[in-house]
Amino acid sequence: MDLVTQNQCFGGTQSVYRHASAVCGVEMTFGLYLPPQARTRPVPLLWYLSGLTCTHENAMVKAGLQRHAAEHGLALLFPDTSPRGEGVADDEAYDLGQGAGFYVNATQKPWAQHYRMYDYVVTELPALLEAHFPLNGVSGITGHSMGGHGALTIAFRNPERFRSVSAFAPIVNPTRSDWGRKQFSAYLGDDEAHWGKYDACLLLSELGWRGDILIDQGAADQFLGQLQPEAMARLMAERRQPGMLRMQAGYDHSYYFVASFGEDHVRWHAERLNAA
């Protein structure tokens, strides 16, 4: 693991690391913020999964989460959204290939060789972090858009690893969305029976979630047709699932939206992770 950059930030350190990933078969890059509290004790970790076209850097630079994490004593992790580099399959479209890993384990050519973001997030990267950084083993997960999809599906399938989950404008029902059907067909094949384990609505219906859920959605989001928050709202009501899905008037899909409600999400996770 190589340190790429490191900067002081709100009394802690914002670092970027690069490492060889056995799961993805290429070098991967991630950002890690350690709050000032990490100098004296292990701290909980909040994962932030980014959306389409993003790298580790977008939320790290634009979302402004470090200030709130420092206040509450949380580490922040910003992984990349896909494998990258020479020899890694790609597509001319922005919503498939590099920058659009959808947090799945691809099974179809040419994607299967490198696109194993589910295993990377659930297994490989946590082991690396726990071995090298002052983390206490308590984790929550959040994300935006495609990353919100990743956060919800990964948490629902791995409640032993993630104690809390939230999302900003997530793709909640990708098996019924243009943002999902195209990618799942490419990465997973045309048999839709293999798609359900990456659909937050289907997983919540099947597995439930032991805690509560926080979702913020901009009411002026230009991608509401693909995100389908109403599907998750109906399901949460039908299941009497504890949580909140808040429609925020006037907000779109941008990082201005994420930054506006980031403090709420960090505080919400801190209350659950620090009490664990």
Task: Kindly list the catalytic residues.
Answer: 145, 221, 253
Number of helices (H), then strands (E), belonging to the chain: the values are: 10, 9
Residue 18 CA, chain-centre distance (Å), reads: 19
Separation CA 52–CA 82 (nearest Å): 10
Are the C-beta atoms of 34 and 134 separated by less than 8 Å? Answer: yes
* 3-state SS assignment for residue 231: helix
- Scan for tokens 């990708």, then name that residue: 174
The answer to whether 104 touches 115, Cβ cutoff 8 Å, is yes
DSSP H or E stretch at residue 49: strand 43-49
